[in-house]
Structure 1
C-alpha cells in the first residue's frame, strides 16, 4: 500500500518566524504557533501520514547565519515536539540564498526526489502545509495537495493570481482548521435539480468563509439567501432558473428543497457536530430560531406579516421556504419573530437562522462522537 506524506514547513507554520531578520537564531526568539502542540499530537496519534519537515534556511552556515546559532534552537524545538509525541520521519533543510535559486530550495523538489518515484508514496493523497506561496508551488511541483496557512483576507486572491487555486484545498487560519480537515474531511456538497418548473444548482461548503454567489431571479430572495451564507460562515452558490412568469412559488420552494438536501449531504454522518443551535434582535424586532439536526423534520412557525410583499417576494412564501428547507434537511425548526417593520422582521429571521446553522454544524474533531444517546441521527 502506498504511503501518504505531510510535507510541513517550519518557520511561520510550526514556529513563529522572526519579523525582522527572519532568522530563528536564539532561544529568545523561539515561539510556537498557537495550537500547534495539541493539533499535531492529535494528528500524529490518529492519522497514518509520514511526516517530513521541509524548510528553507537561507544562508545557513555563512557568517550572517552561523551553524552554532541555528542548531540549539532547532534542537530545542524538536525536543519540545517530541515531548508531546510529535516526531518527524525526515527533516530536510535547504541552505541556499534566494538569489541562487537552487533546485533544492522550495519550491524546487531536488531534496524530495526519493518521494517522487511512484513506487512507495501516494503524492496525490499527500499534502504540503505552509505559510508561503512557495509552499503551494512546492505542492504543485510534487503533485500534492496544498494547505495554505494564512489568515490574510487576500490569501485566496494571491493564489488566484499565481494560478495556484486548483492545488490548494484549504486556506486555514489556524491548526484547528487543518486538523479538522485532515481528520474528518471537507464538508461540501453539490446538488442539482431540474423539473418542468425550475432548474437549480446549489454548491456549499459548511466550513467556508461566507462567500456567496446567489442568483434566483428574485432580488429580495437573493438578499435573504446571502444572509444565510454570510452569517453562517458557509460558502454558498445558488443558481435558480424558475417559472417566474407564473409566480414565485416554485422558485422559492424548490430552492429551499435543494438547499436543504445539500446541507444534509454536507453534514454526512454528523459526528462531532453541536447539533443544536439563537435569537437575534434587529432594531424593533426580536427573532428566535432554534433548530435540531436530529433527523426528524418539523417546523413551528410563529410569525405574522402585514404586507403582501417585501420587495419582489410574497410574504406567504417565507413559511413555504422554511418548511421545505426543514423537510429536506431533516431538521427540527422553530421560528418566532416579533416586531413592526416587516423588512427587519424577515431579515432578522434569516440572520438568526444562519447563526443557528453556524452553531449547530460546528464540529469538534477532538470529541468526534455522534451527538445522540440513541447512537443514530
Structure 2
C-alpha cells in the first residue's frame, strides 16, 4: 500500500506573507528554511508520494487575480523540481472560508479519490501544515498530522498530531529515522482550572505531576510508572473552593490526551485487564478502548478523603476519563484500607492500559472497520 504526504503550501513550503497572506509576486516567494534539502531526503527514500493541498482564498476573483498567482506558483514548482521534488498532484481550493465549500480544507472534497482507494495507506500517511485546519484534514482523512509551528487546537478538540515541530529537518528525521510516537499535548482552561498535559503512550514510566493535590499526584505517578507512559500533568485549580473541579478537569484532559495519542488504534491490542493485590486489598480492572463510554464501579470507600483526594471523586475521576477517550472501564475492589484500595485501583488501571495499548499487528482490532 502507498503512503502519501499531503502537504500544505503557504506557511509550510513557502513563507506566508503576514499582511495579505497572498504570494502574488516573485518578490514574495521565499522557501521555509531546509525545505528543499530535507524534502529531497524524504523523496529519495521512496517511502512517500507527495500531494500538495492548498486553500487559496478567492483565486480568480478581483481580490486574487489568477495572473498574479500562477507566475510565482510555477516558479516555486520549477525550483522544487530542480531538486528532484515533484508532486503527483496539486489540489487548489479557490473558495473563501465563509462559503464552507466541501472542497476547502479541512473538508475532503478534493481528496475523495484517496479516501476510496484501497491501495492508499491513509493510516500511515501524513498531512503536513502550519494550521489546525491541516490537522483537522488529517483527522477527516484517517491520516496523521504533522504541525509546523505552535498553532493550538480549540479546547476539547482531539486531533491526531503525530509531531509538532519548527523545522523540516525535524519532519524528515521523524518520517525517516524515528518510530512514530503515540503522543499528545492537551491544554484545557476554564474559569475554574488550567490544565496542561503531555503524554507519550510508548514511554519509560517517566513522570512529573503537579495538581496541588498530593494524593492525586501520587496516583498519576503510579499510572505513568506501571503503564509505561511518560506523563506530565500541571494543574492549577480553585482548590480554595473545593478539589472537585481540579480532579474532574484533570481526568477530562487526561482522557482527551489518551484519545489523541491512541489515534485510530490500528494494530493495538485494545483490551486490557489486571488483578492486583495490595496487602488486604484486591483490585480488578478491565478496559476496552472501544470508542464507547461506560464505567462499571463496584467499590466501597469509607473515609471522606485520602491525602486531600475526596473519596467520592475517585469514581468520578474514572467516569470523566472514560467519557473522553471514550472507553469501557470496569472496576471492582475489596479491602479494608481506603488508601490501599485507591492505590491498588490506579495500579491495576495502569497495568490494564499497558496491556491494551500494545501494538501487536497492523489491523484495526474490530470487525466494524472503525473504533
Equivalent position of 1:342 in the other structure: 338
Task: Verify: 1:372 aligned to 2:366, yes or no.
Answer: yes
Distance in 1, matches of 2:85 and 2:358, equals 33
Aligned partner of residue 281 in structure 1, secondary structure: strand
Distance in 1, matches of 2:85 and 2:326, equals 41
Residue of 190, 196, 199 corresponding to 1:195: 190
Q: 1:187 to 1:284 in 2, by over 3 A?
A: same
Q: How many residues align?
A: 222
Distance in 2, matches of 1:368 and 1:210, equals 25
Q: 1:292 to 1:119 in 2, by over 3 A?
A: same
Equivalent position of 2:201 in the other structure: 206
Distance in 2, matches of 1:193 and 1:243, equals 14
Distance in 1, matches of 2:199 and 2:339, equals 26
- Cα offset, 1:373, TM superposition: 0.8
Distance in 2, matches of 1:353 and 1:187, equals 19
Equivalent position of 2:41 in the other structure: 4
Alignment check: 8 A CA contact 1:210 1:229 kept: yes
1:142-162 CA-to-partner distances (Å, cap 9, x unmatched) read: xxxxxxxxxxxxxxxxxxxxx
Task: Verify: 1:320 aligned to 2:305, yes or no.
Answer: no
Structure 1 residue runs of 4 or more that deviate by more than 6 Å after TM superposition: none
After the TM superposition, which residues 15-164 of structure 1 pair with which residues of structure 2 at under 5 Å, given as runs? 47=47, 119-120=83-84
- Cα offset, 1:313, TM superposition: 1.0
Aligned partner of residue 271 in structure 2, secondary structure: coil
Distance in 2, matches of 1:273 and 1:282, equals 29
Q: 1:307 to 1:6 in 2, by over 3 A?
A: farther
- Cα offset, 1:168, TM superposition: 8.8
Distance in 1, matches of 2:291 and 2:338, equals 31
Query: Normalising to structure 2: TM-score of the pair?
Result: 0.55
Task: Verify: 1:362 aligned to 2:358, yes or no.
Answer: yes
- Cα offset, 1:119, TM superposition: 2.5
Distance in 2, matches of 1:168 and 1:235, equals 21
Higher Cα radius of gyration: 1
Equivalent position of 2:132 in the other structure: none
CA RMSD, 1 decimal: 3.3
1:9-54 CA-to-partner distances (Å, cap 9, x unmatched) read: xxxxxxxxxxxxxxxxxxxxxxxxxxxxxxxxxxx9x9459xxxxx
Distance in 2, matches of 1:218 and 1:6, equals 50
Distance in 1, matches of 2:85 and 2:225, equals 40
- Cα offset, 1:356, TM superposition: 0.7
Distance in 2, matches of 1:168 and 1:376, equals 31
Query: Normalising to structure 1: TM-score of the pair?
Result: 0.54
Equivalent position of 2:28 in the other structure: none
- Cα offset, 1:311, TM superposition: 1.1
Equivalent position of 1:303 in the other structure: 299
Alignment check: 8 A CA contact 1:260 1:328 kept: yes
Aligned partner of residue 193 in structure 1, secondary structure: strand
Q: 1:308 to 1:268 in 2, by over 3 A?
A: same
Distance in 2, matches of 1:375 and 1:283, equals 43
Task: Verify: 1:269 aligned to 2:261, yes or no.
Answer: no
Equivalent position of 2:216 in the other structure: 221
- In structure 2, runs of 5+ residues without a counterpart are 6-38, 50-81, 87-125, 127-168
